[in-house]
Amino acid sequence: MSVMADLTPTPDRPGLHISKPSPNAPATGSAVCHCGASATATGDAQVKALVEGYTANHGPAHRNGGTRR
Ligand SMILES: [Zn+2]
């Protein structure tokens, strides 16, 4: 059993989750949007891109009329 599972977004609980276990470990991220899109990333740069892409196109962006896919 993993505690991480409680923090990982799912279609029932959409959202963005970023984890960085230690300063020397690469960050990992996962995102699930209520529109059905999901993505994961590993590494600081890729996680940053994941966050930027999610916030620009998914999550709150849907409520701003950002419906581009
Ligand atoms: Zn979406």
Q: Ligand 1 centre from 23 Cα, in Å? A: 30
3-state secondary structure of 12: coil
Summarize pLDDT for 17-57 with one digit per residue, the tens: 999 989 999 999 999 999 999 999 999 999 999 999 999 99
Tell me the CA–centroid distance for residue 57 and ligand 1, in Å: 6
Ligand 1 centroid distance, CA of 68 (Å): 9
Beta bridge partners of 25: none
Distance 30 CA to ligand 1 centre (A): 13
Distance from residue 24's CA to the centre of ligand 1 (Å): 31
Helices H, strands E: what count in the chain?
Answer: 2, 3
Percent of the chain with pLDDT over 90: 62
pLDDT-based confidence at 11, cuts 50/70/90? confident
Question: pTM for the complete prediction?
Answer: 0.75
Average pLDDT score over the chain: 85
